[in-house]
């Protein structure tokens, strides 16, 4: 059994323990692996409030946006390796505002090993960072990026990846933002592991999607999930649709939530 504890999200799930704080961002402790770091160092303080020792040897970044990477320096004490797609370090913009990773790769490499990968990699026993995800179905790109030659182009956010956690009942998929698209990510996780995804936790980036588009995803999901706990960038409309469509599987989560898979 693997324990997943959300230490940063856009909301706090409950009233205990006292002092938990939310911000626009995501971070979760998945077994002994830290997945994303939130926007500031506040995720470290939430971890302490939850009785966790905020020191993790393995850190995985879902992608290079500030709200998933800004808290990274606060977690580097005791860290051995940071896993990320190479494009996570590319400059990223939205409407002219910089929204990328706030720290240069060279700065981080002075304190921790940076392991870039575009293929799947097992970062801990039974926990896989999925790497770059094929996109035969609709995805959720955002903003622009600047290439090495100085050209600016639409950012497909190829660096987006999720965690696939092996369980006795199938795969638990933990998503940071899921810019690659939920269906694409689920199918890739199943191709990598050879097991069916039975749980989804985290951001699904449907905040800008229409109700019809979200309903289409819900139709495809059907009865495949035993647990569906969307958060962060899913959006209120998406959460309402999923809660109504999957009342038995749906779980409300936020900072402080603990999920056993």
Mean pLDDT to the nearest integer, 74-95: 96
CB 17 within 8 A of CB 47: no
Tens digits of residue pLDDT in 105-124: 999 999 999 999 999 999 99
- Per-residue pLDDT at 69: 98
Closest CA to 175 of 213, 214, 222, 228: 228
Report the Cα 27 to chain-centroid distance in Å.
7
Tens digits of residue pLDDT in 15-67: 889 999 999 999 999 999 999 999 999 999 999 999 998 899 999 999 999 99
| pLDDT band, very low/low/confident/very high, at 148 (cuts 50, 70, 90) | confident
Report the Cα 137 to chain-centroid distance in Å.
19
- Per-residue pLDDT at 147: 80
- Per-residue pLDDT at 93: 97
Domain layout of the chain by residue ranges = 3-260
**Interatomic CA distance for residues 196 and 166, integer angstroms:** 10
- Per-residue pLDDT at 15: 87
Tens digits of residue pLDDT in 190-245: 999 999 999 999 999 999 999 999 999 999 999 999 999 999 999 999 999 999 99
- Residue burial 55-86, b: 16+ Cβ < 10 Å; e: rest: ebebbbbbbbbbbbbbbbbbbbeebeebbbbe
Which has more confidence, 175 or 146? 175
3-260 sits in which CATH class? alpha beta
Q: Is the backbone peptide bond immediately before 64 cis, with ω within 30 degrees of 0?
A: no
The mean of the pLDDT values for the chain is 97
Mean pLDDT to the nearest integer, 74-91: 96
- Please enumerate in sequence order all residues whose Cβ is within 8 A of that of 149, keeping only pairs 6 or more positions apart, or say none: none
């Amino acid at each position: 059994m693997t324990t997943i504890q959300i230490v940063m999200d856009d909301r706090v799930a409950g009233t205990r323990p006292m002092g938990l704080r939310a911000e626009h961002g995501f971070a979760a402790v998945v077994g002994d692996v830290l997945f994303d770091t939130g926007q500031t160092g506040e995720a470290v303080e939430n971890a302490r409030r939850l009785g966790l020792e905020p020191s993790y040897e393995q850190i995985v970044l879902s992608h290079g946006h500030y709200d998933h990477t800004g808290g990274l320096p606060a977690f580097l004490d005791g860290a051995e390796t940071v896993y990320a797609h190479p494009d996570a370090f590319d400059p990223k913009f939205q409407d002219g505002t910089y929204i990328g990773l706030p720290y240069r790769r060279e700065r981080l490499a002075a304190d921790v090993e940076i392991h870039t990968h575009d293929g799947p990699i097992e970062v801990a026993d039974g926990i896989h960072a999925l790497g770059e995800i094929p996109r035969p179905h609709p995805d959720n790109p955002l903003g622009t990026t600047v290439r090495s030659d100085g050209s600016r182009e639409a950012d497909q956010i190829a660096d987006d990846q999720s965690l696939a956690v092996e369980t006795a009942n199938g795969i638990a998929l933990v998503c940071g933002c899921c810019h690659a698209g939920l269906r694409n990510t689920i199918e890739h996780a199943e191709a990598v592991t050879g097991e069916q995804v039975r749980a989804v936790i985290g951001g699904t980036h449907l905040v800008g999607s229409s109700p019809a588009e979200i309903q289409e995803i819900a139709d495809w999901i059907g009865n495949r999930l035993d647990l569906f706990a969307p958060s962060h960038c899913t959006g209120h409309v998406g959460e309402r649709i999923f809660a109504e469509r999957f009342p038995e599987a749906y779980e409300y989560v936020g900072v402080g939530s603990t999920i056993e898979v």
